[in-house]
């Protein structure tokens, strides 16, 4: 099946047009700066052909119309007719407790997504806009929602409940949900494939390290714990987000600095993490360069970043009663040998032996042959998971 995968952010639309039979992206691209000056679509075809188109791209509907036009274009496109798009798969960030798996989009589903907006005020509204725009532009083409939270929806209550009054969970659904689910699912399954073992018999720890970072404990195919929580703010240190914090710290700062709720949220989500500690950058490449130049605060940022990951490796091995594989993915996980090396340092006691050369050479298996725990560097492919899920749901609903 040929599936258009859309990932709609507040001012961007990422897309891939995927042939699910061949597991191949025929085309991919990004519409950036939607609603701003200098909006641009960057498109790339499977054969390397590339094009950039600038225009007045005022909203998500126009952005998706541009995507359709370039997919249909004689010189740069890959289809002759709109009908060649057999289904559309949408990345949706928050499925709340309503969605534990991917769904065919209907009016009721859109209503349920709207009901979940409060849980993800930054992410779900553009996701919904994208679904509505694609439905208008491609009427009759089935649309499927694939949720970042779904893979974590089988966590046990001991992992998802917070230690706050239970009525607040009942009243406001305040609990841990977890995110990056499609990525954790993809790389954990891929690790099992690479090990030539059954997914259902392995204990795998996955670390998705990008601008947002999270880890998951995948126990025999089920995510039993993950570091992000009610929102994508909990857990690891990230580019601009604080991760784990004593909640009293927030109240204390709000009092001292006279911050409003919104200002406190901005401080924690935008001005913390790598950028907050280093004062230099939220980008790991720049942090690494600053560390080489002996920048003390960048060194703190790097150390805290790696230390938190290491602590969760220990925690998740304990939670699962063992670990067979550790997987690094995401922009940092895939590209920074320094981070992988630091996380795995002195972990031989639990059977993790990194092979320095394999790690620096960016191989897929980066542990030594004698390592009891296999360590992998696996490029994530969330779009492929979304396309495969979409094809499966559409085929089974026909
Ligand atoms: P997103 O979460 O937005 O999808 P990515 O997965 O692309 O982000 O990850 C972005 C992060 O990856 C940035 O911190 C960037 O510095 C880091 N990164 C990309 N390439 C490298 C590299 N070669 N070395 C270290 N970090 C890198």
Averaged pLDDT, 154-179: 97
Backbone angles phi, psi at 108, to 5 degrees: -65, -35
* Mean of pLDDT values over 184-210: 98
Structure tokens at 374: 């296999």
Enter the tokens of residue 173.
């659904």
Q: How far is the CA of 330 from the centre of ligand 1 (A)?
A: 7
* Residue 91 annotated in ligand binding: yes
When mean pLDDT is compared across 106-120, 165-179, 221-235, 265-279, the lowest value belongs to 106-120
What mean pLDDT is predicted for residues 127-150? 95
Band (pLDDT 50/70/90 cuts) for residue 48 is very high
Q: How confident is the model at residue 120 (pLDDT cuts 50, 70, 90)?
A: confident
Is the pLDDT confidence value at 116 over 90? no
Segment 360-374, tens digit of pLDDT = 999 999 999 999 999
Q: Report the C-alpha gap between 26 and 236 in whole angstroms.
A: 34
Mean pLDDT value across the chain? 96
Instruction: Yes or no: say if 173 and 241 are a contact pair by the CB < 8 Å rule.
Output: no
Residue range 113-139: mean pLDDT, rounded: 90
The protein residue with its alpha carbon nearest to ligand 1, atom 7, reads: 331
pTM, two decimal places: 0.94
Strand ranges, E, within the chain: 2-8, 13-19, 24-32, 40-45, 50-54, 87-92, 103-104, 143-147, 203-209, 213-219, 222-226, 325-329, 374-377
- Whether 18 has a binding-site annotation, put simply, is no
Q: In what order do the strands lie in the sheet with 2-8?
A: 50-54, 40-45, 24-32, 13-19, 2-8, 87-92, 143-147, 103-104
pLDDT of residue 10: 86
Q: Do 223 and 184 touch, CB atoms closer than 8 A?
A: yes
The residue among 196, 204, 177, 230 whose CA lies nearest residue 327 is 204
CA distance 11 to 107: 24
- What mean pLDDT do residues 256-283 have? 96
pLDDT confidence band for 297 (50 / 70 / 90): very high
Q: Is 207 in the pocket of ligand 1 (CB under 6 A)?
A: no
Q: Residue 198 C-alpha to ligand 1 middle, in angstroms?
A: 31
The answer to whether the annotation marks 210 as part of a ligand binding site is yes
| Residue 99 half-sphere exposure toward CB, CA atoms < 13 A | 29
**Tokens matching residue 100:** 């534990």
Is any atom of ligand 1 closer than 6 Å to the C-beta of 333?
Answer: no
Is pLDDT at 54 greater than 90 in this prediction? yes
Domains of the chain: 2-147 (3.30.420.40), 198-377 (3.30.420.40)
Half-sphere exposure of 46 (CA within 13 A, CB side): 12
Please work out whether the CB of residue 239 comes within 6 Å of at least one atom of ligand 1.
yes
* Distance from Cα 307 to the centre of ligand 1, integer Å: 18
Residues 331 and 210 sit within 8 Å (Cβ to Cβ)? yes
pLDDT tens-digit readout, 299-341: 999 999 999 999 999 999 999 999 999 999 999 999 999 999 9
Residues recognised as catalytic: 148
What secondary structure does DSSP assign to 152-167, as a single string?
GTT--HHHH--SS-HH
Distance from C-alpha of 360 to C-alpha of 88, rounded to nearest angstrom: 38
Region of 294 on the Ramachandran plot (φ > 0 left; ψ -120 to 50 alpha; else beta) = left
Give the pair of three-digit tokens for residue 307.
Answer: 């230390």
pLDDT for position 257: 97
Ligand 1 center to residue 343 CA distance, Å?
17
Section 155-184 average pLDDT: 97
């Amino acid at each position: 099946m040929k599936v258009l995968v859309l990932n709609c952010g507040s001012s961007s639309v990422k897309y891939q047009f995927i042939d699910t039979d061949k597991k191949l992206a025929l085309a991919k691209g990004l519409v950036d700066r939607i609603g701003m000056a200098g909006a641009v679509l960057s498109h790339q075809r499977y054969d390397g052909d590339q094009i950039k188109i600038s225009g007045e791209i005022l909203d998500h509907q126009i952005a998706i119309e541009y995507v359709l036009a370039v997919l249909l274009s004689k010189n740069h496109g890959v289809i002759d007719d709109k009908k060649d798009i057999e289904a559309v798969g949408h990345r949706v960030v928050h499925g709340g407790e309503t969605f534990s798996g991917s769904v065919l989009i209907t009016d009721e589903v859109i209503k349920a997504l709207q009901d979940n907006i409060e849980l993800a005020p930054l992410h779900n509204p553009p996701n919904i806009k994208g679904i509505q725009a694609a439905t208008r532009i491609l009427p009759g083409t089935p649309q499927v929602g694939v949720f970042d939270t779904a893979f974590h929806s089988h966590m046990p209550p001991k992992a998802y409940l917070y230690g706050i009054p239970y009525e607040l969970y009942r009243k406001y659904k305040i609990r841990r949900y977890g995110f990056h689910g499609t990525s954790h699912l993809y790389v954990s399954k891929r690790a099992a494939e690479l090990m030539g073992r059954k997914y259902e018999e392995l204990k795998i720890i996955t670390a998705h390290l990008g601008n947002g970072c999270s880890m998951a404990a995948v126990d025999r195919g089920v995510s039993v714990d993950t570091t992000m929580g009610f929102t994508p703010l909990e857990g690891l240190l990230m580019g601009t987000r604080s991760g784990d914090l004593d909640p009293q710290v927030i109240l204390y700062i709000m009092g001292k600095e006279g911050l409003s709720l919104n200002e406190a949220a901005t401080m924690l989500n935008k001005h913390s993490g790598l950028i907050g500690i280093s004062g230099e950058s939220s980008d790991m490449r720049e942090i690494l360069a600053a560390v080489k130049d002996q920048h003390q605060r960048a060194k703190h940022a790097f150390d805290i970043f790696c230390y938190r990951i290491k602590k969760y490796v220990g925690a998740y091995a304990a939670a699962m009663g063992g670990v067979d594989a550790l997987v690094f993915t995401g922009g940092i996980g895939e590209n920074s040998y320094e981070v992988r090396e630091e996380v795995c340092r002195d972990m031989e006691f639990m059977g993790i032996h990194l092979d320095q050369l394999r790690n620096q050479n960016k191989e897929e298996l980066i542990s030594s042959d004698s390592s009891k725990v296999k360590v992998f560097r696996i490029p994530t492919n969330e779009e492929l998971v979304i396309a495969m899920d979409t094809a499966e749901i559409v085929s089974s609903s026909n």
